[in-house]
Amino acid sequence: MSDALLSDPHLAAEMLVHLGRAARGDGAEAGLTAAQWTALRFFARANRLSRTPSAFAAFHATTRGTASQTVKALVAAGYLERLRDERDGRAARIEVTAAGRALLAADPLHVIAAAIGRLPPAQQRALISALQNVVGETARLREGPCFGVCAECRHLAALKAVSAGGYHCEEADIALSAEELEQLCVAFAPKPPGGGSPA
């Protein structure tokens, strides 16, 4: 590829769109729409604070009404279930069912992950780091929320170990398991450019 193409941000953006389309599969996989696949993946990757229709609406840059319809369709299909939040009985927490997890095993996204997995390790790390920066900058330009995980969060110092394998984030006021530290969080805030962890 020429130097001009290698430094063309529009080409990179079009490639990302192409990959986004590929992640939808050929449309035959369980008959899910692109939004439904995104929702199923989101609820499988989000921490408990973020497993709500409104957090999904923010993640998917859509309205709460549209997000609720997407969740409703997946609940009706048996791939998601709506539970009462233990901290706020009026709020709903969304969980992926066993059928939803089985479906995710055949997620068309795996093909893209496999292609990335075939890159040399240094290229994989550079790609993930660059994409993380693009996601953060896009959120900043859109003045929208940015989702991420604890290790990359500006509020990392607010995360305290409270028991073996148990944590509490004082910023988000949420208890987390060790597993959830690597899940998407709606309260995530990116570190300042060039910034390390606060403590």
Which residue ranges make up the site for ligand SF4 (CB under 6 A)?
Answer: 150, 153, 155-156, 158-159, 169, 171-172, 174, 176, 185, 187-188
**Contact predicate 172/49, CB 8 Å:** yes
Between 31 and 193, name the residue whose CB sits nearer to ligand SF4: 193
Q: Which run of H or E residues covers position 58? A: helix 53-59
Dihedral sign computed on CA atoms, order 118, 123, 124, 127 = negative
Name the minimum Å distance from CB 184 to ligand SF4: 8
Name the minimum Å distance from CB 179 to ligand SF4: 13
Q: Which run of H or E residues covers position 176? A: strand 174-177
Residue keyed to tokens 């709903």: 92
Between 35 and 94, name the residue whose CB sits nearer to ligand SF4: 94
Name the minimum Å distance from CB 94 to ligand SF4: 18
Between 32 and 169, name the residue whose CB sits nearer to ligand SF4: 169
**Contact predicate 149/181, CB 8 Å:** yes
Name the minimum Å distance from CB 36 to ligand SF4: 25
Q: Which run of H or E residues covers position 170? A: none
DSSP code of 158? G
Between 104 and 172, name the residue whose CB sits nearer to ligand SF4: 172
Say how many residues make up the chain.
Answer: 199
Between 103 and 146, name the residue whose CB sits nearer to ligand SF4: 146
Strand partners, 96: 80
Name the minimum Å distance from CB 155 to ligand SF4: 4
- What token pair was written down for 112? 């893209």
